[in-house]
Amino acid sequence: MNLLFWGLTISMVGKIMLAAGVLIAHGGLAQERRVDNIVLKDFKIERVLTIIGIVLIIGGYLMEVSFYGFDTSLLTCTGAECAADLPAAVYSQ
């Protein structure tokens, strides 16, 4: 297992945590139909899951960037020069 695998896996776990947090909080609000301590507790759980999810998504992204590397001239080119560099960047992978 390489860095790309871990980057994709961590990113996916982060996305699932974001979705789970939203479902937990909104499910609790829909069931209770009013904002009380149970719903507020769900919102606190959602906040924690969301923060962890965002950190995992960013960590996964950084791992993917590290795996692929960005030693390309597309980051510094301008205008028509970018169009000329594009085929070389696409086929260098």
* Per-residue pLDDT of the chain in tens (93 residues, 90 and over written 9): 677 788 888 888 888 888 888 887 777 666 766 777 877 887 888 888 888 888 888 888 888 877 777 655 555 666 666 666 555 555 555
**What is the three-state SS of the chain?**
CCHHHHHHHHHHHHHHHHHHHHHHHHHHHHHHCCCCHHHHHHHHHHHHHHHHHHHHHHHHHHHHHHHHCCCCHHHCCCCHHHHHHHHHHHHCC
For residues 27 and 33, the answer to whether their CB atoms sit within 8 Å is no
Residue 17 is predicted with a pLDDT of: 85
pTM of the entire predicted model: 0.60
Number of domains in the chain: 1
Q: Which domain holds residue 76?
A: 3-91
For residues 44 and 28, the answer to whether their CB atoms sit within 8 Å is no
Residue 84 is predicted with a pLDDT of: 61
Residue 76 is predicted with a pLDDT of: 63
